[in-house]
Amino acid sequence: MNPEILRAKQLARELLLSQKSTRLPVSVERLSFDRSVLIDSLEHYCVMTGSTVRQLCAGNMAALKDGCTLVRQRGDRKVYVILYNARANSVRRQSFTLAHEVGHIYLEHEDDDPESERQADAFAAELLLPQVLAAKFLGGLAVEADPVAALAQTFAVSQSMARQRLLSSVMEANYTAQEKELLARYEIALPCRDEPTLIY
C-alpha cells in the first residue's frame, strides 16, 4: 500500500486514540484537536463575517461544492476554519466532508491535487469507520444481516462508504499495535448480539 495512505490512516487512528470519549459513531464536530480547528457551515460563516461565497473561494465555486478549509494566521499560530455546505448534502456526506477536511489539516496539505485528495479520503474513512472496528463488528454480525446497511447504520456513514469498507475489510488481520489499542478502547462502543442483563 502507498506509504502516504498508510500515514493518513495512522494519523486518523492517532486522533481517535487522543479522544477522551469512545462514542460511536464518531462525530467530527465533537472531536478534540491538538491544533486550532473551527467548524462552521459556509452559510453561517458568510453571515457572521460579512463575506460572500465568491469572496471566500476566490471565484472557484467548485471548491465549495462540499466544503473547504480556510487557514488564518493568528500571531504565531494557524487557525483552520472548516466550512461545509449545509444545503448541498446529507448529514452523512457532511460528516465525511468534515473528516476529509480534517485529514487535509493533519496531513499538512497545501494543494488539492489528486494524491492529496486520496490521502484525505483515506484519513476520513479511517476516522469515521476504522478498519479494525469494521472487521470486529462484521465478525459479530448475524448471518442474515445486511453487512453494508449494518455498517452504514452503526457508524453513520453512507452506504457507498460502508460498501467500500466491507470490500477492504480483512477479517483475520495482523493488526498493528496502534490498531490493537484502538480496538481495545472502542470495542465497548460496538453493538453486540448478547442479550443485556437487566439490573434493578
In a domain, 60, yes or no: yes
With a pLDDT cut of 70, the percent of the chain lying above it is 90
Residues 6+ apart with CB under 8 A from 5: 118, 119, 122
pLDDT reported for residue 122: 97
Taking residues 101-120, what's their average pLDDT?
A: 94
Q: How many helices (H) and strands (E) does the chain have?
A: 9, 3
In a domain, 149, yes or no: yes
What range defines the domain where residue 160 resides?
A: 3-189
With a pLDDT cut of 90, the percent of the chain lying above it is 68
To 10 degrees, the CA torsion angle through 157, 155, 166, 92?
0
171: pLDDT strictly greater than 80:
no
Is the CB of residue 12 less than 8 Å from the CB of residue 123? yes
Is the CB of residue 123 less than 8 Å from the CB of residue 105? no
In a domain, 195, yes or no: no
Q: How confident is the model at residue 112 (pLDDT cuts 50, 70, 90)?
A: confident
Is the CB of residue 151 less than 8 Å from the CB of residue 162? yes
Tell me the pLDDT tens digit for each residue of 53-101: 777 766 666 666 788 899 999 999 999 999 998 887 789 999 999 999 9
In a domain, 144, yes or no: yes
In a domain, 197, yes or no: no
Question: What's the pTM?
Answer: 0.90
pLDDT reported for residue 79: 96
In a domain, 102, yes or no: yes
172: pLDDT strictly greater than 70:
no
In a domain, 76, yes or no: yes
Number of domains in the chain: 1
In a domain, 194, yes or no: no
